[in-house]
Structure 1
């Protein structure tokens, strides 16, 4: 018999004043109650009840022990109630890890509205491009472009990751507008080095049939920071292929133009994902944040299988 069950029987005996009463309360028989009390006394080296043929009387040691055990059960019950409430009600600390560019450009602008809707949730943000172990680091949610295949995690796609081939108007006025993919060999390029692999992000350009194919082109300038790549493109350093969340604001403001329609890499892991540990009972703070993310992205014209880039007008004219 486990210790918790034994302590329940002990308190029932205290309250009922007899083994028979305790047996009825605990849905067992008097013999089982008597044996449980005897084992507990042997473990403690104390007499908890004075026995006689007529009555069962609790000892002074038993009274003191009962006070402690009763408080323990009360504290345990209160703790369980609090934990249950925190799991069912959106409250507590929500720990979020986000890729840098997505965190700056998409996540941060959403947070004020989220906290206004759920004022009992406190945020802890970790912004970096490292694919840290979110279980070891006690992170509730990670936002990643691409994701690690970890059987302990659930990865839900928030949106695809669409790319646009961009240049600044000033650069195109100076260098001309490429007429076909082969013309890009004569243009300057700003490349992106992927931190996790050290490899350059591949360049895809459309052939005459509009099918996107990989091209080996010289990168005149290289960076491992997405926002720096976008700003170098805005500053006229050259052409860059930017993910939709990096290109959006500059395209809307006319600081960049898109030379072609969007393209979507064929790799199955390409996309924007929300990642969280597998749990049988998801905390409410995690559930409402995922719902809020999807709701906010839908208002921006994005969903799990589309982005605003699909409807972007890419015609270039001066």
Structure 2
């Protein structure tokens, strides 16, 4: 029998004045209560009750011990109530870790509305591209493009990650439009270096059937920063294959055009994910943040299996495919 159970039986015996009364309160039998009190007395090396055939009376040591135990149980109950309230109420500090580009372009513009809706939640936002251990670093929720399999975590896909082959209108006007993948050998290309692996992001271009295949191209320029890549592209330094959240602003403003329809990597781990520790009772602050983010993305035309890029009209289409 654990110590807390012994203490509960002890207090029930104090309140009831007998082993029989304590047994009724604790839903057990008098013999079990008697053995529990005896075990507690042995642990303490004290006599808590004077026993006789006619009555049970608490000792001076027993009274003092009961006062302390009663306060401890009340404090524990208050603490449990407070913790349950915190877990069930959207409040407290929410620690968010986000990939750099997604954090700046998609997450940050939504935060004011989130804080207005949930004023009791305070944000602690970390922006980096490090795949850190979110449990060891006490992070409530992370936003990542892709995820690492970890049985301690839940990874919920917010959207696919669609890529668009982008270029500035000025570049096309000056250099012409490549009509097939081989034509790109004569054009400038901006490459992206993945920080963790130091490898260049592969390029996928469509064949004459519209099937995207990996394609080897020399990169005229290279960067490891996604936003810099998008700006270099809109500045006319060449073509770039941008994820949808990086391409959106430039395409909407006209600073960029998309040469082909979107490309979606087939790997199941590809996409934008919200990641959080696995637990039986998800804190309300995490739950409402995920719900808010999901609803906000839905209003932008994005969901688990779709992005706005599916409906974007490219400059070129595949054979037999109509624009728009």
TM-score range, shorter chain: over 0.9
TM-score for the superposition, normalised by structure 2: 0.94
1:176 Cα shift?
1.9
Q: Does 1:194 align with 2:194?
A: yes
Q: Which residue of 2 aligns with 1:149?
A: 149
Q: Which residue of 1 aligns with 2:226?
A: 226
Q: Which residue of 1 aligns with 2:26?
A: 26
Moved over 6 A (4+): none
Alpha-carbon separation, structure 1, partners of 2:32 and 2:209: 83
Q: Does 1:99 align with 2:93?
A: no
Q: Which residue of 1 aligns with 2:321?
A: none
Query: Structure 2, unaligned stretches of length 5 or more?
Result: 317-324
Q: Which residue of 1 aligns with 2:15?
A: 15
Question: Where do residues 132-281 of structure 1 align in structure 2 (5 Å cutoff)?
Answer: 132-281=132-281
**Structure 1, 195-204 or 240-249: larger mean CA deviation:** 195-204
Alpha-carbon separation, structure 1, partners of 2:124 and 2:113: 16
Q: Which residue of 2 aligns with 1:41?
A: 41
Alpha-carbon separation, structure 1, partners of 2:180 and 2:39: 87
SS of equivalent to 2:73:
helix
1:266 Cα shift?
2.1
Alpha-carbon separation, structure 1, partners of 2:207 and 2:220: 23
1:268 Cα shift?
2.3
Alpha-carbon separation, structure 2, partners of 1:3 and 1:149: 39
CA RMSD of aligned residues (A): 1.4
Alpha-carbon separation, structure 1, partners of 2:9 and 2:186: 85
Alpha-carbon separation, structure 2, partners of 1:82 and 1:247: 46
Q: Does 1:309 align with 2:309?
A: yes
Alpha-carbon separation, structure 2, partners of 1:143 and 1:195: 17
Alpha-carbon separation, structure 2, partners of 1:90 and 1:35: 45
Q: Which residue of 1 aligns with 2:319?
A: none
Alpha-carbon separation, structure 2, partners of 1:281 and 1:268: 27
1:196 Cα shift?
2.2
Q: Which residue of 2 aligns with 1:108?
A: 108
Alpha-carbon separation, structure 2, partners of 1:115 and 1:287: 14
Alpha-carbon separation, structure 1, partners of 2:62 and 2:261: 80
Alpha-carbon separation, structure 2, partners of 1:99 and 1:266: 21
Q: Which residue of 2 aligns with 1:130?
A: 130
TM-score for the superposition, normalised by structure 1: 0.95
SS of equivalent to 2:286:
helix
**Aligned positions, number:** 316
